[in-house]
């Protein structure tokens, strides 16, 4: 009985040993074989398997190509940042260029950056800049106008564009006394407008208006120097009194002067000026003393100095 039990135990032990040896042989055979299907050259499979195991990128011709591509991407990003760092402009200057009230209009097709101001023929200029770009919009003074403005660009691009000689910069301005009178006739003499803009719920005289705009800041009577002053040395400056000749000079400079523009200017289509006040014909009526003119000279000293307007009293 004991002998039979011993033989049974021995057979079980031998079976386990045989099974273990069989598994070891099978495991060694698997390690010697590739996990991928066989191809013409076994070395190609091993190289492909190594590349697949070492990276999560899709299979390419050579693993080094992937590394080079990654380096090139980093280089391009660094290069872009380096290009931006070459330009030197303060955040305050960039903020001024974007415009608190009226951001300059950018015409990329003709590489033009146009600085405009309210009450300085802005309706005329916006319609003209729509025309030369083929923009058919009735809106002018909001985002639906189709016009691109400088504040739509990032700080790096703004700096690069303003410092590039390839971009033409132009500004159109108006004699401050005439412009401020136009602002008063269009806005300041109306009670509801002054209440909305300056919280003055009454009708004001012209001289009261001049005192109010010292503290009530708004685009229609803000100064027309809307860029760092040194930029104006390289700008084309147009004045309200020479609007026709400046239009031709500017558009010829950027290559936009053509028969369509000439027809538009000579026709009545562009004369859409709902806010026209004929302020020039009323100057002596409102500026009948030196006190009000001295106030304008003081408030808008930058406009007079930068744009070369004369500080001579009306007679």
What's the pLDDT at 163? 93
Say if CB 111 and CB 166 are below 8 A apart: yes
Mean pLDDT of 52-56: 39
- The whole-angstrom distance between residue 174's C-alpha and the CA centroid of its chain comes to 26
What's the pLDDT at 67? 39
What's the pLDDT at 119? 94
Q: What is the pTM of this model?
A: 0.71
- β-bridge partners, 114: 105, 170
pLDDT value at 66 more than 50: no
- Angle, helix 63-85 to helix 155-163, in steps of 10 degrees: 60
pLDDT value at 175 more than 90: yes
Q: Higher-confidence residue: 278 or 77?
A: 278
Say how far apart CA 184 and CA 229 lie, in whole Å.
27
DSSP string, 237-253: EEEGGGHHHHHHHHHHH
Highest mean pLDDT among 3-7, 69-73, 80-84 belongs to 3-7
Residue 240 — very low, low, confident or very high, per pLDDT cuts 50/70/90? very high
Percent of the chain beyond pLDDT 90? 62
Chain-wide mean pLDDT for the chain? Answer: 81
Say if CB 209 and CB 299 are below 8 A apart: no
Mean pLDDT of 141-158: 93
Query: Which residues touch 221 (CB under 8 Å, ≥6 apart)?
Result: 119, 179, 180, 183, 187, 188, 213
Mean pLDDT of 170-179: 97
């Amino acid at each position: 009985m004991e002998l039979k039990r011993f033989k049974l135990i021995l057979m079980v032990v031998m079976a386990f040993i045989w099974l273990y040896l069989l598994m070891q042989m099978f495991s060694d055979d698997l390690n010697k074989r590739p996990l991928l299907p066989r191809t013409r050259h076994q070395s190609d499979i091993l190289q492909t398997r190594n590349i697949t195991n070492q990276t999560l990128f899709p299979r390419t011709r050579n693993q080094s190509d992937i590394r080079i591509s990654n380096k090139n991407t980093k280089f391009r990003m660094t290069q872009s940042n380096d290009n931006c760092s070459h330009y030197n402009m303060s955040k305050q200057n960039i903020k001024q260029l974007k415009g608190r009230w009226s951001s300059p209009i950018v015409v990329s097709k003709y590489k033009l950056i146009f600085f405009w101001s309210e009450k300085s023929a802005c309706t005329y200029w916006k319609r003209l800049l729509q025309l030369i770009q083929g923009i058919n919009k009735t809106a002018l003074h909001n985002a639906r106008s189709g016009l691109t403005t400088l504040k739509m660009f990032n700080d790096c691009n703004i700096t690069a564009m303003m410092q590039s000689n390839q971009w033409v910069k132009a500004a159109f301005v108006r004699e401050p006394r005439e412009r401020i009178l136009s602002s008063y006739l269009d806005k300041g003499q109306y009670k509801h407008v002054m209440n909305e803009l300056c919280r003055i719920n009454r009708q004001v005289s012209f001289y009261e208006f001049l005192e109010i705009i010292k503290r009530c800041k708004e685009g229609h009577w803000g100064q027309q120097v809307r860029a760092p002053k040194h930029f104006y040395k390289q700008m084309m400056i147009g004045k309200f009194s020479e609007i026709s000749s400046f239009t031709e000079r500017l558009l010829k400079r950027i290559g936009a002067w053509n028969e369509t523009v000439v027809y538009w200017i000579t026709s009545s289509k562009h004369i859409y000026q709902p806010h026209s006040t004929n302020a020039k014909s009323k100057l002596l009526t409102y500026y009948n003393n030196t006190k009000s003119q001295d106030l304008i000279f003081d408030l808008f000293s930058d406009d007079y100095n930068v744009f070369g307007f004369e500080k001579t009293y009306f007679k």
